[in-house]
């Protein structure tokens, strides 16, 4: 069976959830091969988990420059690998870095690229939501192999354990790959919450939350549901919550099982980032707020009385 | 320092956007078209760098004839001139074709720095800075929330999924910016009047040294097979809190097996 390359994105010693989703999708297209692009020793920590999700082969491309310089080295290594094994398809996560590597790969190989794909058929037909999910298109790469980035939360990851065969990839870089040096890396993610784009539950706060301190209430509900915290642009622009948690047209696109909007009116730009969520719940003082037009369950009321009651009720049931 | 700012005209994300029925390209006729919002932050950053270090700011836009509205609007903020890449044969270009044409235009300008918005609100591909960097041999520093320049070295603080990182590179480089980097200025009356007289050079395929088969729908490397509107989401139950709103909300979550 033809190999399908999956570019592994990992946080520390574990592959990100999206990587497991890509391996699951790759199994429906051919034989999944995971490509680790990281620093020395990274593959060893990831290989068991990649095998659990069906990675028949793991390519270990390890070099300190893959971590020490931005994007370009990873694209160079991946392009070399694609040229040498000629896979049936190449899948990357539709994250900022995934899209950037894919963009460089497309130029290097003069190969078509499809981004933000939510499904890929064995014949290479990809499904993509465009215009914030209001239009669904099917598309195909017509030059080269299917090179696609797949949006997190598009596929339910399932296990299919194998013992992966690990192959070492020779990392050969040139000065052109080492143009952008990483000087410092700092994590700002708070606590143990799941990543916003990967979370199956997102609790988001908007202008109605009123202050940075009040976001503790949003966080409390998120933690109770094992979810991530999001914020509308009004909330991030007002400094209530850090910018990287913004959901919407100018922020992240999320598609969780459950999205709870607290004090968010639901401007079209916010809806752009969350309207493909499976279930949407909203609490807002304004009965006319557009968020209610898409909410499966809406409460017109003061979030500062409704949410504490929700928290108390969930605790009671646990 | 000579700076090129990439500006794209996009359909307003606050209005209804659609694809054309015939070739599934973005319908630019029916939409209200504006400057891609992130690009205004890139223009502002370029103007601030010009104020600090001198040099010239050039707007670079690829798009149909009507994009000139956005070019004049961009110029009214203060840039010196513009280049409009326009040719009927460019219609239907994929990202690869677009990057080929833009890279050819950038080569004619030999800038120290290319600034761009972190993403466009229509395509949201986020790959253009790296595609251009790959073609031009420039450094690419994306998603900047802070940019500093010292002795030809660029330092960027960039947003990542996990937090932020600091990266450095020498010029020439492509830098893309988020809306956290600055507060774009509003064009004033003087700026609007001056923009009408600023030079706008139009470059077609011949001037760029490109063949028709390399770009546009003829050179496209991917194709849309079909498009359909997603069914409108229907609102569900809406209740007014009369003391038990929170409890009812949890009952709903329980019925959906979330708690």
Which chain B residues are Cβ-neighbours of A279 within 8 angstroms?
256, 258
What ipTM describes this predicted complex?
Answer: 0.93
- Taking residues A174-198, report their average pLDDT: 87
- What is the C-alpha separation between A99 and A196, in angstroms, rounded? 17
> What is the pLDDT confidence band of residue B202, given thresholds at 50, 70 and 90?
very high
Q: How confident is the model at residue A190 (pLDDT cuts 50, 70, 90)?
A: low
What angle do the packed helices A42-52 and A17-27 form, to 10 degrees?
A: 50
pLDDT at B42: 98
- The span from the first CA to the last CA of chain A, in angstroms, equals 47
For residues B63 and B86, the answer to whether their CB atoms sit within 8 Å is yes
- Judge: A131–B143 Cβ closer than 8 Å, yes or no: no
Cis before B146? omega within 30: no
Which pLDDT score is estimated for B169?
98
Mean pLDDT, rounded, of chain A: 94
Do residue A244 and residue B163 have CB atoms under 8 angstroms apart?
Answer: yes
pLDDT tens figures, B103-154: 999 999 999 999 999 988 887 888 999 999 999 999 999 999 999 999 889 9
- 3-class secondary structure per residue, A118-158: CEECCCCCEEEEECCCCEEEEEEECCCCCEEEECCCCCCCC
Q: Please say if the pLDDT value at position A257 is more than 70.
A: yes
- Compute the nearest-CA separation of A1 from chain B (Å): 25
Tally helices (H) and strands (E) across chain B.
Answer: 7, 13
Q: pLDDT tens digits for B2-46? A: 999 999 999 887 777 888 888 888 887 767 889 999 999 999 999
Q: Is the pLDDT of residue A189 over 70?
A: no
Given an 8 Å threshold on Cβ–Cβ distance, is A100 in contact with B235? no
The yes-or-no verdict on residue A288 having pLDDT over 80 is: yes
Asked if B169 has any chain A CB less than 8 Å from its own CB, the reply is yes
| pLDDT value, residue B24 | 83
Percent of chain B with pLDDT over 70: 100
Per-window interface: A 74-133 vs B, CB < 8 A: 75, 95-96, 99-104, 106-108, 110-116, 125, 129-133
Q: Which chain A residues are closer than 8 Å to B252 by Cβ?
A: 281, 296-297
> Which of A95, A179, A272 has the CB atom closest to B169's CB atom?
A179
- pTM score > 0.90 for this model? yes
Q: Which pLDDT score is estimated for B25?
A: 84
State yes or no: pLDDT of A88 exceeds 90. Answer: yes
Residue of chain B nearest A249, judged by CA positions: B121
pLDDT score, position B17: 81
**CA dihedral (A8, A11, A14, A19) positive or negative:** negative
**CATH, range B2-219:** 3.40.50.620
Q: Give residue A124's pLDDT.
A: 94
- What is the residue extent of each domain of chain B? 2-219
Q: Do A294 and B233 touch (CB under 8 A)?
A: yes
């Amino acid at each position: 069976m033809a190999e399908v390359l999956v570019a592994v994105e990992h946080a520390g010693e574990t592959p990100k959830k999206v990587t497991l989703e890509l391996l699951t999708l790759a199994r429906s297209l051919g034989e999944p091969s995971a490509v680790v692009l990281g620093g020395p020793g990274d593959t060893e920590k990831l290989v068991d988990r990649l095998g659990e999700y069906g990675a028949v082969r793991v390519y270990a491309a390890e070099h300190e420059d893959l971590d020490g310089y931005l994007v370009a080295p990873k694209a160079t290594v991946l392009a070399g690998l694609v040229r040498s094994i000629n896979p049936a398809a190449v899948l990357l996560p539709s994250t900022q870095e995934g899209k950037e590597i894919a963009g460089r790969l497309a130029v290097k190989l003069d190969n078509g690229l499809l981004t933000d794909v939510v499904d890929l058929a064995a014949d290479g037909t990809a499904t993509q939501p465009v215009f914030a999910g209001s239009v669904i298109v099917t598309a195909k790469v017509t030059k080269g192999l299917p090179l696609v980035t797949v949006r997190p939360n598009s596929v339910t990851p399932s296990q299919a354990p194998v013992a992966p065969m690990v192959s070492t990839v020779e990392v050969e870089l040139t000065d052109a790959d080492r143009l952008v040096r990483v000087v410092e890396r700092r994590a700002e993610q708070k606590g143990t919450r799941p990543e916003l784009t990967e979370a199956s539950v997102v609790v988001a706060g908007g202008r109605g939350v009123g202050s940075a301190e009040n976001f503790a209430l949003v966080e409390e509900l998120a933690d109770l549901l094992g979810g991530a915290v999001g914020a509308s642009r009004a909330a991030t622009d007002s400094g209530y919550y850090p910018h990287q948690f913004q959901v919407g047209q100018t922020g992240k696109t999320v598609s969780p099982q459950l999205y709870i909007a607290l004090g968010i009116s639901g401007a079209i730009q916010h809806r752009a980032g969350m309207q493909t969520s499976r279930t949407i719940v909203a609490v807002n003082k304004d009965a006319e707020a557009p968020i209610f037009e898409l909410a499966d369950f809406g409460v017109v009321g003061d979030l500062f009385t409704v949410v504490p009651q929700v928290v108390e009720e969930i605790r009671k049931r646990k | 320092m000579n700076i090129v700012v990439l500006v794209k005209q996009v359909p307003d994300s606050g209005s209804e956007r659609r694809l054309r029925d015939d070739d599934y390209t973005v319908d630019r006729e029916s939409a209200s078209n504006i400057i891609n919002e992130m690009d205004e932050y890139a223009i502002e950053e370029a103007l601030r760098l010009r104020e600090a270090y001198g040099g010239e700011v050039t707007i670079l836009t690829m798009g149909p004839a009507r994009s000139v509205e956005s070019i004049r609007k961009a110029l009214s903020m203060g840039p010196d001139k513009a280049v409009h890449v326009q040719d009927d044969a460019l219609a239907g270009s994929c990202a690869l074709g677009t990057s080929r044409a833009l890279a050819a235009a950038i080569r004619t300008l030999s800038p120290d720095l290319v600034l761009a918005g972190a993403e466009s609100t229509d395509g949201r591909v986020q790959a253009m800075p790296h595609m251009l960097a790959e073609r031009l041999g420039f450094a690419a520093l994306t998603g900047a929330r802070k940019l500093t320049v010292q002795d030809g070295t660029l330092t960027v603080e960039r947003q990542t999924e996990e937090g932020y990182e600091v990266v450095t590179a020498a010029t020439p480089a492509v830098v893309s910016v988020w809306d956290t980097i600055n507060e774009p200025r509003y064009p004033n009356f003087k700026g609007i009047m001056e923009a009408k007289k600023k030079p706008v050079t139009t470059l077609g395929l011949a001037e760029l040294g490109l063949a028709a088969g390399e770009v546009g729908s003829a050179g496209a490397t991917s194709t849309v097979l079909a498009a359909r509107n997603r069914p409108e989401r229907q609102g569900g139950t809406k209740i007014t809190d009369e003391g038990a709103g929170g409890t009812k909300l949890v009952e709903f979550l329980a019925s959906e097996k979330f708690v």
